[in-house]
């Protein structure tokens, strides 16, 4: 694997606004155009069919893995051990992809949320980041990014919600929101 | 054309942080997975080769058009008439794509910047938005979105820069930033 993009950085997309996962997908579209090898792990999605899966499947240089139960998680409820197991498996998959050096870009989608819900440990994420091969670019998405991750990251954008149709009761639409 | 996504909305991605165009590209990747027809107009790019063009070209349901001179524009300088002509042509292309009803999603990338530099007129943008076929979803990107456009939009995210490697003198990298 050639380090086509030189030294890999760490990007974090956080905040309560729409556009975090969407921006990660856009980064993949862009990177794939340059022939970079890409791995994306969805931490909190489950394996239901999203529009992005169909397109990602068509891009030869993109590999993806999807984890999480398809259920609403609340911070006030006790952690579902199955949910924790899924998040740990997602982190293991991400860690393996990073350490292999086979990928130029590894996206960990909603990892911030998995951490915020204490499904995975901060130290394990930092270990993956710090011990990665030099050419590997990382993108971490999800609201409530940990301050330590923001500190380590090279690029951080906070997606701030100014307006969202969910607030007016509009439901998620296929092809647009998922 | 079937209105696969029901009633089309207007999304605005603005702010000074990375992720606006990237999120629009991600929205395209997602929409293409559902078989939606997509048109994207790049207002301020010129026709140099970006990673995203290569991938967009591989997606059968995506059409794109690129405008703008490849030069730095400053608000303090006199407007270059060639730049204005390019932006007007971009708006005409976007308007035609929207009115045709042939597309489910029309992305106007960096249109906010073109407006902010007074290369195009606000009323012409509003006209396109207000008179579009009901099923057409619009995404407008670029910093300094006009307050009237924010008012009209259904979904607005401000991408706020928390950290950006450009600030440390790191240059744009192929596959990552373009």
Smallest Cα distance from B79 to chain A, Å: 31
* pLDDT, mean of residues B55-73: 86
What's the pLDDT tens digit per position in B114-160?
A: 999 999 999 999 999 999 999 999 999 999 999 999 999 999 999 99
The structure's pTM equals 0.90
Q: Which of B137, B164, B178 is opposite residue A176, by nearest beta carbon? A: B137
> Residue A1: what pLDDT?
31
Round the average pLDDT of chain A to a whole number and report it: 90
* pLDDT, mean of residues B95-109: 98
Spatial strand order of the sheet with B155-163 comes to A62-66, A38-42, A105-109, A137-141, A10-14, A155-163, B155-163, B10-14, B137-141, B105-109, B38-42, B62-66
* pLDDT, mean of residues A115-121: 96
Check whether A42 has a pLDDT greater than 70: yes
Q: Which of B12, B24, B30 is opposite residue A52, by nearest beta carbon? A: B30
Q: How confident is the model at residue B48 (pLDDT cuts 50, 70, 90)?
A: low
Q: Do B34 and A54 touch (CB under 8 A)?
A: yes
Helix, strand, coil percentages (3-state) for chain B, rounded to 5, are 40, 20, 45
Q: How confident is the model at residue A156 (pLDDT cuts 50, 70, 90)?
A: very high
Please indicate whether residue B57 or residue A130 has the higher confidence score (pLDDT). A130
B33 near A CB under 8 A:
yes
Say how far apart CA B126 and CA B140 lie, in whole Å. Answer: 12
Which residues 100-129 on chain B approach chain A with CB closer than 8 angstroms? Answer: 104-105
- Which residues, listed in sequence order, are joined to residue A155 by a DSSP beta bridge? A11
Check whether A47 has a pLDDT greater than 70: no
Say how far apart CA B174 and CA B178 lie, in whole Å. Answer: 5
Residue of A nearest to B6 (CA): A173
**Residues from chain A contacting residue B28 (CB–CB below 8 Å):** 26, 29
B53 near A CB under 8 A:
yes
pLDDT > 90 fraction of chain B, expressed in percent and rounded = 72
Check whether B59 has a pLDDT greater than 60: yes
- Residue B83, classed as helix, strand or coil, is helix
């Amino acid at each position: 694997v050639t380090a086509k993009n030189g030294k890999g950085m760490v990007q974090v997309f956080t905040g309560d606004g729409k556009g975090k996962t969407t921006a990660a997908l856009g980064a993949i579209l862009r990177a794939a155009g340059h022939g970079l090898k890409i791995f994306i792990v969805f931490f909190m999605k489950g394996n239901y069919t999203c529009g992005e899966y169909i397109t990602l499947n068509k891009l030869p240089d993109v590999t993806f893995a999807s984890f999480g139960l398809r259920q609403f998680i609340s911070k006030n409820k006790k952690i579902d051990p199955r949910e924790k197991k899924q998040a740990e498996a997602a982190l293991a998959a991400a860690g393996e992809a990073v350490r292999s050096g086979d990928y130029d870009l590894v996206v960990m989608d909603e990892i911030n949320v998995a951490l915020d819900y204490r499904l995975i440990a901060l130290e394990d994420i930092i270990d993956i980041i710090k011990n990665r091969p030099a050419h590997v670019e990382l993108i971490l998405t999800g609201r409530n990014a940990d301050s330590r991750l923001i500190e380590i990251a090279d690029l951080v954008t906070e997606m701030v919600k100014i307006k969202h149709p969910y607030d007016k009761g509009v439901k998620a639409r296929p092809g647009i929101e998922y």
